[in-house]
């Protein structure tokens, strides 16, 4: 794939004259990517972001030095705060553009073989709702900030005896949404007689590792064997058409990063700083105005997130004393049914809001699924934010609502005399989209479909 890309870049320069061709022949792959001329050509096709991508590609492809990646396959049809349930993982080495797949397997295999004396304490919610006695690698991404989750993943991976644990340079998380987009370009992939398309790859993979393996005569421990040949088939497909579709791949990469389906963390702080500068790191961001992030954690609800339609309503009222009171209410519409893939939806939901916010009331929290008793709300400070959290369950074909009402800190209401109220809304990692309505008492209601982080401004009379 790299040879074809270099050939394509050479063609760009040949088009400018023989001098350009002679010039590129003398360059290393790293210098080609970093060339200001090449970056300008890419910018013309993809805009400024394309040029920035070209600057850091050499490091990702191991041209500056060999790199070892821990890849997390995060299933966003089973949402977790850091993107999705980590059902499988891979360790990949890249050296001068050449890739070596060291290992691909299901996380349950690593977790099952972890040392008995290794017993890190899990988050209270996982302990309570899933009965977990220790924190497993598969559940590492409990934080909505990818860097925090990646660090925990590396800690648990090492503690459980993962291969190359001491040599990991970076962690990459990606969801099935990325696979769907890639297969749209490569075309269908056939592996072990199974045809995967962009429309069915997520569902077929889930079926094969849950039920299909048995139909093919495999035992339970072999149920995720299909991941390795599928991964190689995808890589082969990418190599075949990298020359003709390079622009589409870069565009998909940009879009998937923007929509938080593809996220990166680097152990080296300088590299991590670059990722944060490009907004590739999946951070929970600091913001001086109002802030909102709603985070769901699917707790033993199969792959039900793919049939959950979310609509978040945010109301801001101005009290007589001049303080701002906000209500964040999520409506969950369960459009599925009981089957092999979906069940009642069980989620521990948290909202992250400005530090110093004070809870006033809440509604919709449950103690457990199929119970009538009102659940409690937990709260804490994390990532420079205040969070409130509660459990709720929604039966198939039903609608459930969970809301939190709280007073915003004085620092937010003090901004109103400047005649401008702003709020920054972040989308959860891995979530495909969410309906969002913002209703400020002092401005016009705004409704949108949130697919990426977005800032909203309202003029205050």
Residue 317 included in any domain: yes
The domain spanning residue 163 has which CATH number? 3.40.630
Same domain, 122 and 245: yes
**Residue 144's closest CA among 365, 364, 356, 387?**
387
User: What Cα–Cα distance (Å) separates residue 444 from each residue in 289, 330, 437?
Assistant: 18, 20, 11
User: What Cα–Cα distance (Å) separates residue 196 from each residue in 183, 185, 212?
Assistant: 8, 13, 14
Q: Are 279 and 52 in contact (CB under 8 A)?
A: no
- Residue-range definition of the domain harbouring residue 367: 290-459
- Boundary-marking domain end, from 256, 277, 298: 277
pLDDT tens for each residue of the chain, 461 residues long: 444 444 444 444 444 444 444 444 454 555 555 556 555 655 565 555 656 676 777 888 898 899 999 999 999 999 999 999 999 999 999 998 888 999 999 999 999 999 999 999 999 999 999 999 999 999 999 999 999 999 999 999 999 999 999 999 999 999 999 999 999 999 999 999 999 999 999 999 999 999 988 888 888 888 999 999 999 899 888 877 666 777 888 889 999 999 999 999 999 999 999 999 999 999 999 999 999 999 999 999 999 999 999 999 999 998 888 899 999 999 999 999 999 999 999 999 999 999 999 999 999 999 999 998 899 999 999 999 999 999 999 999 999 999 999 999 999 998 888 788 999 999 999 999 999 999 999 889 999 999 999 999 998 87
Query: CA angle 259-267-182, nearest 5°?
Result: 35
Residue 285 included in any domain: no
User: What Cα–Cα distance (Å) separates residue 365 from each residue in 100, 143, 368?
Assistant: 48, 21, 9
Same domain, 319 and 398: yes
- Boundary-marking domain end, from 277, 304, 323: 277
**Residue 87's closest CA among 110, 108, 114, 111?**
108
Give the Cα separation of 221 and 328 in Å (integer): 43
- Boundary-marking domain end, from 60, 83, 102: 60
Please name every residue paired with 344 in a beta bridge, in sequence order, or none if there are none: none
Same domain, 44 and 93: no
Quick one: tokens of 255? 């879009």
Q: Give one DSSP letter per residue of 369-413, joined into a string.
A: TT--SBPP-EEEEETTEEEEEEEEEE-TT-EEEEEEEEEPPHHHH
Same domain, 81 and 44: no
Give the Cα separation of 179 and 204 in Å (integer): 12
Quick one: tokens of 378? 């937990």
Considering its fold, how many domains does the chain have in total? Answer: 3
- DSSP 3-state of 83: coil
Q: Are 171 and 148 in contact (CB under 8 A)?
A: no
């Amino acid at each position: 794939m790299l040879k074809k890309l270099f050939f394509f870049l050479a063609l760009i320069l040949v088009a400018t004259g023989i001098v350009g061709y002679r010039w590129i022949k003398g360059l290393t792959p790293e210098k080609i990517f970093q060339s200001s001329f090449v970056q300008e050509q890419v910018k013309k096709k993809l805009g400024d972001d394309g040029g920035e991508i070209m600057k850091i590609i050499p490091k990702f492809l191991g041209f500056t030095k060999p790199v070892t990646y821990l890849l997390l396959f995060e299933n966003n049809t089973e949402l977790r705060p850091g993107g999705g349930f980590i059902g499988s993982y891979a360790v990949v080495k890249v050296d001068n553009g050449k890739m070596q797949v060291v290992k691909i397997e299901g996380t349950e295999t690593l977790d099952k073989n972890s040392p008995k004396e290794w017993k890190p304490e899990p988050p209270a919610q996982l302990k309570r709702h899933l009965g977990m006695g220790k924190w497993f690698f598969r559940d590492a991404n409990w934080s909505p900030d990818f860097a925090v989750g990646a660090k925990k993943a590396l800690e648990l991976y090492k503690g459980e005896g993962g291969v190359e644990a001491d040599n990991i340079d970076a962690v990459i998380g990606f969801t099935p949404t990325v696979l769907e987009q890639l297969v749209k370009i490569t075309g269908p992939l056939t592996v072990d007689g199974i045809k995967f398309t962009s429309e069915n790859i997520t569902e077929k993979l889930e079926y094969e590792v849950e039920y299909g393996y048995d139909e093919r005569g495999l035992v339970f421990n072999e149920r995720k064997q299909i991941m390795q040949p599928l991964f190689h088939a995808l890589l082969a497909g990418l190599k075949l058409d990298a020359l003709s579709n390079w622009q589409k791949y870069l565009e998909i990469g940009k879009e998937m990063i923007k929509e938080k389906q593809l996220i990166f963390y680097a152990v080296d702080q300088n590299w991590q700083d670059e990722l944060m500068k490009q907004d590739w790191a999946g951070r929970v961001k600091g913001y001086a105005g109002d802030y909102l992030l709603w985070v769901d954690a699917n707790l033993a609800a199969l792959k039900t997130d793919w049939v959950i339609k979310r609509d978040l309503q945010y109301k801001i009222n101005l009290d007589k004393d001049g303080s701002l009171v906000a209500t964040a209410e999520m409506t969950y519409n369960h459009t599925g049914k009981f089957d092999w893939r979906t069940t009642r939806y069980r989620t521990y939901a948290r909202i992250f809001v400005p530090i110093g916010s004070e809870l006033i009331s809440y509604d919709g929290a449950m103690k457990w699924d199929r119970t009538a008793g009102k659940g409690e709300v937990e709260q804490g400070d994390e990532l420079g934010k205040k969070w409130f959290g509660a459990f709720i369950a929604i039966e198939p074909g039903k609608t459930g609502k969970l809301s939190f009402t709280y007073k915003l800190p004085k620092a937010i209401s003090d901004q109103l005399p400047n005649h401008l109220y702003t709020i920054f809304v972040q989308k959860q990692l891995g979530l495909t989209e969410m309906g969002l309505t913002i209703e400020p008492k002092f401005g016009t209601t705004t409704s949108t479909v949130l697919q990426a982080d977005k800032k909203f401004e309202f003029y205050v009379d």
